Amino acid sequence: MTHEPIEHLTENTDEHSRIQFDDLDEDMLASISRSHGVDYATRLLYDRARKVPANQQLSKELEALGAGGKLDAPFAAKVLIVPAMFYKEYPRYGGDGRVIKSAADTLGIPCQMIPLHSTGGIMSNAEVLGRAINSEPEENIILVSLSKGGADARVAFERGFIHPGKVKIWIQIAGIVHGTPLANHLAGNWWWRMLLKGYLRYRHAGHDLINELCRGPKHLLRGRARAPEGVTVINIVGFPLRQHLSGSLVGRHKQLAKFGPNDGCILLRDSFVEPGFVLPIWGENHYFQNPDLSELMVKVLRHAAVNLLKREPMKLREAI
């Protein structure tokens, strides 16, 4: 895994040199984004996330791993994929986790996607997810969630739909685990609300789907997402600048910029389940279309199967 140089990060160092990752909460990031620009705030958050000792160690261990070949011996683990919203309707984005499946096949680890409703609500999908996981005979489950699948998984854990001890590792990629201001905007504007209602009906989606994805203290995904007891979390998050984006992501990134660094769909600080490792991917957007992700996922799954399953869960202060 490579990192581009973080140019201009030394600007205004007198003001920001002492800021650590834990200091960069949503209010500070929004303030820095407004005063110094969203790209600067993105660079700052990326740099501080990389410098968390646990994240540094994980990155070093991944870089030392080979990407190819099956595991040396059969390993009692199974990968279950929690797909993204609209994974059936828009297959080009890979929301079905095909990259994850390919990586697991490379390593010889059993893997399957949990067939959640592509346009299902968070609560309904969370219940289905819990039943699917609990029915698995394998106890060493590596759960990989994509985008809204992260919200489905979060609620499944929090509501007790998943039996304790079934999942050992949760790899969540660009997870909408705290909602997104984009949903608030859609739900709050009557014109967009009417258009959205028609679109959701056309897609056979639940009318509460967007409300469930809203961000804030009155909504389903309120509060900070916490790692379930006994589960090690790895957060894989894209860190794009404006120049890395194209198409509709450009407008969404600009719309979210007043709230802080974002990937074109969610705020970056909102994509972390804590405590957990963070793998920040420079220049990547919410949809993770970079071919390099295939090699990264092989390394992450290899590391999870060989190392993390043998460890005690991380203590609170060992990661973010």
Q: Which residue has the tokens 């011996």?
A: 73
Residue ranges of domains in the chain: 36-65+231-288, 76-173, 181-214
CB within 8 Å of 273: residues ≥ 6 apart: 150, 154, 170, 172, 175, 177, 225, 226, 227, 233, 235
Q: For residue 13, what pLDDT is reported? A: 43
Q: For residue 228, what pLDDT is reported? A: 95
Q: What letter represents residue 22's amino acid? A: D
Give the residues of the chain that fall short of pLDDT 50.
1-3, 5, 9-10, 13, 190-191, 316-317
Q: For residue 128, what pLDDT is reported? A: 97
Evaluate whether 290 touches 66 at the Cβ level (below 8 Å): no
Q: For residue 313, what pLDDT is reported? A: 59
Q: For residue 153, what pLDDT is reported? A: 98
Show the CA angle centred on residue 268, arms to residues 263 and 273, nearest 5°: 130
CB within 8 Å of 217: residues ≥ 6 apart: 223
Q: For residue 291, what pLDDT is reported? A: 77
Enter the pTM of the model.
Answer: 0.90
Output the CATH code of domain 76-173.
3.40.50.1820
